Amino acid sequence: MIYVNKRFIFYSPGDRIYEIHLRREQFEIPRGFARNGYDSTLVSGLINVSQDVEIDFFQTNHLFSNQLQIINEVGEVIREFSKEKPDVVMVYHNNPLISLLVVSYRIFGHSKKDNGKKRVVWALKSDWLESRIPGQHPLGRLIRVLGIFVNQLFLNYILVETPCAFRSLSKFISEKKLVLSSNFFQSALNYSDKYENGKREHTLLTVAVVSRQKGIHILLNAFSRLSSQFLDWKVHVVGPMSDIEYYKELQEIVKAKGLESQVAFLGPLYGDKLREEYTTASIFCLPSIYESFGIVRYEAAIAGLPVVTSNAGCGEFLSQLGMLVYEYERIDELTELLKNLMSSETLRIRVSSNQQENLRDIRGSISDFIGLLERKIQLY
């Protein structure tokens, strides 16, 4: 059942948002609510977006560079929420502000009421994973655990993207509050195709921000072991340069391995240009050292590409979907998987077909989540 004039706010504290293709989470969720009959607003620090994304924006002009900005943020957000009178508020990622925000809004805000009960449903969009972030001190992980445990006391739901995250959080949070929802497939469907339909070239594609976390150096080192056997194969790296020093390091690897004619950094590509890369490449690889969800893996699979990926971001789930998964940073494993795929188009087609078959059952779940929220609203 779709409610008319329901209001949804997606709040991404202290963020700078200027490109929807780099921040798809912040757009796909509120856009999904808008398409289900909600007046939908994205609230964040700075927003500079020219594309038509079917939602409204409100920027607080705070990037949390000092403590005063955090205090001012809470007051400004409470005023905006009081004006909008939302039925549902979702906060992006676990943040110390959550508990303070919910309590302050209940005290000072003007929530809609029905028989004296407040009607706002509070949710958290979490990328929680049990695996440690590389380099993170155990104390940092403990703080994360305590933070999300405290915040969940004030929340109705926590939205997670993988079974791994659900299982990890269910150890200390009631499963009644946890919702498993892979919520980005609407954008991924823009690239839907079959391997056989594309004019496939011998290209190994990766789509990622150029930063060490994405492990592009691992891919280059693995490819260098195969390049002399597969001289007609190339590597295309699509994504913005967020770490110039790391990019220089990658260029040095390319030069040292003699890969200048086989590796190309294409920068950020969007829309039809990105679709062209997906539908002309033959293999997709995401060699991340750390990953939360990794929407590009799903985009690539839906576009018909066989996906080779590290186990970062719930490797067991990715394996169940038919993707070829290796232990992150194990170059020998990655090299062997790439070699097998590069050697056989029949194998590439079989892996692609298997992935697409498995993906059919998990698309469009944001609508199911909205249905759950609306049943919750009816109970208030």
pLDDT in tens, 5-58: 789 999 998 888 876 666 777 888 888 888 888 999 999 988 887 666 789 999
Residue 116 binned pLDDT confidence (cut-offs 50, 70, 90): very low
Decide if 87 contacts 156 (C-beta within 8 A).
Answer: no
- Whether 6-183+364-379 shares its CATH topology with 188-361 is answered yes
pTM of the model: 0.86
The pLDDT of residue 163: 85
The pLDDT of residue 2: 44
Distance CA 98, CA 152 (A): 9
Decide if 282 contacts 305 (C-beta within 8 A).
Answer: yes
Of the listed ranges 131-135, 139-143, 148-152, 255-259, the one predicted with least confidence = 131-135
Whether pLDDT at 362 is above 80:
no
Q: What is the largest CA-CA distance in the chain?
A: 74
Distance CA 227, CA 257 (A): 9
List, for residues 71-86, the tens digit of each pLDDT value. 788 888 998 998 888 9
Distance CA 22, CA 270 (A): 10
Q: Tally Cβ neighbours within 10 Å of residue 7.
A: 19
Domain 6-183+364-379: state its class: alpha beta
3-state DSSP assignment of residue 290: coil
Phi, psi of 66 (to 5 degrees): -155, 170
Across the chain, the runs of DSSP E, i.e. the strands, are 6-17, 38-47, 56-59, 88-92, 113-114, 117-118, 121-125, 157-160, 178-180, 203-207, 234-238, 263-267, 283-286, 307-310, 324-326
Pairing of strands 263-267, 307-310: unpaired
Distance CA 315, CA 294 (A): 11
The residue ranges of every structural domain in the chain are 6-183+364-379, 188-361
Is the domain covering 188-361 a CATH 2.160.20.70 domain? no
